[in-house]
Amino acid sequence: MSVENTIGKARSKWMEGTGPDNDVVISSRLRLARNIEGYPFPHFMSEEEANHVINAVRLAVSEKAGAKFPVETEFIDLNELSQTERQILVEKHLVSPQHIESPANRAVVIAHDESLSIMVNEEDHIRIQCFLPGLQIKEAWRLADKIDDVLEKTLNYSFCEKRGYLTSCPTNVGTGLRASVMLHLPCLVMTKQLGAMVNTISQLGLAVRGYYGEGTEAYGDLFQVSNQVTMGQTEDEIVTNLLTVTRQIVSQERSTRKVVLKNNKPFLEDRIYRAFGVMSYARVMTAQEAIKNVSDLRLGVELGILKTPAYDQINELIILTRPAFLIKKAGRPLNAGELDALRAEIIREKLSKININ
Amino acid sequence: MLCEKCQKRPAAVHMTKIVNGNKTETHLCEVCAQVDNSVSFGLDPKWMLQSIFAELFNTPHTENDPSSDAGVKPNRCEKCGFTDAQFSQVGRLGCPTCYDVFENKLDPVLRRIHGNPRHTGKIPKRTGGTIELRREIEELKRELQAAITSEEYEKAAEVRDKIRGLENKLG
């Protein structure tokens, strides 16, 4: 296993498509923000201090320091990767877009199954991120908690009794914990019920936003729900709150699916088979169109109208057709038109191997 | 000219981008331009958050809280040199010590964001020291009070002994 492997393959653990409630919940993600005592926060650090932090984390995750992770990991200096390779890490959600804006003095630790990544010198010195398929926020918290304990054996965290883990931005202070779930909600969108739900959810200290796309427009009916408050609640309380609300949304989406399927089956079948038809024959496809069609294909499987492809193949299609992945595959820079053509080609090729009936 | 993206509405936003000498031109209608990330109308959500922080940070608090003497407090962190003016600009603090230095101004901000500005979660195992123990004692003291109020004296005695045991550990 090497960096090359992470960048070369589209699959990560979270894309396996398994896990509880996988007909609605695509993945669960949880991150902990931590800082090391005695250093300014990354945005206010000298180059030398940034290097100290990188070396300290490199030591903390190495077996020499006795670090025993439940998963095997690799330490990657962002400067050693090309811009396209760094972009692929973003497309796979292993690092944030902000992390690669200035790659100097920044690093990432990635588990081989990609269920864990640790960003070094992003907004905080350390950001532990766990990423699992389906509704597994509690499991993600357990994993992150363990990793946090391993790092704390070597590193002195900035911690104060009153304010908890101190972070660069006051919105993360306390537990430093941000948990989120990625949800596929085509039927709540179709029946225009989501708007009212978003209002209720935000009153419970949670935020809802579209996963792809900006503002109110969410391509592919993919949404992210996450906690806003990080202080004054225990980690278990935050996780349980998100879990409870997510279960409610899941059951709403499921019952809406049943109703829509009963009343509008021909309309739904048409939408799903059209997506399949376009994906099987299109010659040019934008990223936005691809996500929309993949979402419709997924809906077909969720409703039992299509028997295949499996969820893991669907998740892989989204990542495979992101711009940096396409450029990596082509092995040269592509303009917008070339990107759209290669995207269509890859989707056709993948779908030709799938027998939907 | 029609919008490049939707091909329906007339193009109203014309953008020329030059990156390393490569010139690209984009012509979009107002609707598509708002969706397009590369054309910013100054509504960056991050920027909004920062300006809200700045507002909260600089608002004098006349309620009965100790921050009314904020004027005499230092506006520069002695450890890292970060100033409160910089916080208003970037929405981030300079170093962990800043939390203490700017405490009076920061606490109302934390209360607005989190409601309860006191950490109740995880404590680092190695460096957390006696915090866990002290938190447990506090919890037991509340239990003791409740037991006394409800006149469960046997239980109260039990809890009191537990508290003594833990306090001995603290030394």
- State the number of CA atoms in the 13 A half-sphere of A25 facing the CB: 28
Q: Domain-by-domain residue ranges, chain A?
A: 3-253, 264-352
Using a CB-CB cut-off of 8 Å, the residues of chain B touching A153 are: 126
Q: Looking at the complex, does the CB of residue A217 fall below 8 Å from at least one CB of chain B?
A: yes
pLDDT confidence of residue A315: 86
pTM: predicted TM-score of the whole model, two decimal places: 0.81
pLDDT bucket at B39, cuts 50 / 70 / 90? very low
Interface with chain B: mutation pick from A52, A161, A216, A227, highest number of B CBs within 10 Å: A161
* B130-164: pLDDT as tens digits: 777 888 888 889 889 988 888 888 888 998 888 88
Q: Looking at the complex, does the CB of residue A17 fall below 8 Å from at least one CB of chain B?
A: no
Angle A349-A351-A354 from CA coordinates, rounded to 5°: 125
Q: Give chain A's mean pLDDT.
A: 89
Give the integer Cα–Cα distance in Å for A210 and A57.
33
pLDDT, averaged per 10 consecutive residues of chain A (357 residues), comes to 69 80 94 95 93 92 75 89 90 90 91 92 96 94 94 92 93 95 93 86 86 67 92 94 95 94 92 94 92 93 87 86 88 89 93 78
Cβ contact A214–B35 (<8 Å): yes
**CA of A53 to nearest chain B CA: how many angstroms apart?**
14
Q: Where are the beta strands (DSSP E) in chain B?
A: 13-19, 22-28
Using a CB-CB cut-off of 8 Å, the residues of chain A touching B121 are: 164, 174-175, 177, 233-235
pLDDT confidence of residue B168: 83
Residue B86 lies in a domain: yes
* For residue B21, pLDDT beyond 90: no
Residue B95 lies in a domain: yes
Give the integer Cα–Cα distance in Å for A122 and B38.
23
**CA of B107 to nearest chain A CA: how many angstroms apart?**
10
**Do B102 and B51 belong to one domain?**
yes
* B63-75: pLDDT as tens digits: 444 444 444 455 8
pLDDT confidence of residue A214: 54
**Do B34 and B85 belong to one domain?**
no
**Do B84 and B59 belong to one domain?**
yes
**Do B146 and B106 belong to one domain?**
no
Q: Looking at the complex, does the CB of residue A130 fall below 8 Å from at least one CB of chain B?
A: no
φ, ψ of residue B159 in degrees (nearest 5) = -65, -40
Residue B2 lies in a domain: yes
List the single residue in A149, A177, A232 with the smallest CB-CB distance to B115. Answer: A232
Cβ contact B113–A171 (<8 Å): yes
**Total number of domains constituting chain B:** 3
* A195-236: pLDDT as tens digits: 888 888 888 889 888 877 555 557 889 999 999 999 999 999
**Do B49 and B89 belong to one domain?**
yes
pLDDT confidence of residue A122: 94
Identity of the amino acid at A318: I
**How many CB pairs (< 8 A) connect A and B?**
113
Using a CB-CB cut-off of 8 Å, the residues of chain A touching B90 are: 43
**CA of A224 to nearest chain B CA: how many angstroms apart?**
16
Cβ contact B128–A168 (<8 Å): no
Cβ contact A41–B119 (<8 Å): no
Residue B15 lies in a domain: yes
Cβ contact B127–A156 (<8 Å): yes
- Are A313 and A16 in contact by the 8 Å Cβ rule? The answer is no
Residue B119 lies in a domain: no
Cβ contact A163–B110 (<8 Å): yes
Which tokens go with A349?
Answer: 């090729």
* A163-203: pLDDT as tens digits: 999 999 999 999 999 999 999 999 999 998 888 888 888 88
- For chain A, percent of residues with pLDDT exceeding 70: 96
**CA of B80 to nearest chain A CA: how many angstroms apart?**
7
What residues make up the domain containing B165? 129-170
Interface with chain A: mutation pick from B99, B122, B134, B138, highest number of A CBs within 10 Å: B122
CA A119 to chain centre: 14
Residue B156 lies in a domain: yes
Residue of A nearest to B45 (CA): A215
Helical (H) or strand (E) element with A127: strand A126-133
Give the integer Cα–Cα distance in Å for A291 and A299.
12
**CA of B117 to nearest chain A CA: how many angstroms apart?**
6
User: β-strand A206-210 against A222-227: which pairing, if any?
Assistant: antiparallel
B72 exposure class (CB count in 10 Å sphere: 0-12, 13-18, 19+) = exposed
Q: Where are the beta strands (DSSP E) in B6-157?
A: 13-19, 22-28
Residue B121 lies in a domain: no
Domain covering A3-253 in this structure, CATH number: 3.30.590.10
pLDDT confidence of residue B43: 46
Residue of B nearest to A234 (CA): B121
**Do B53 and B84 belong to one domain?**
yes
**CA of A247 to nearest chain B CA: how many angstroms apart?**
24
Residue B109 lies in a domain: yes
Q: Where are the alpha helices (DSSP H) in A63-168?
A: 83-91, 137-152
Q: Give chain B's mean pLDDT.
A: 77
Give the integer Cα–Cα distance in Å for A175 and A33.
8
- Are A21 and A134 in contact by the 8 Å Cβ rule? The answer is yes
Using a CB-CB cut-off of 8 Å, the residues of chain A touching B106 are: 170
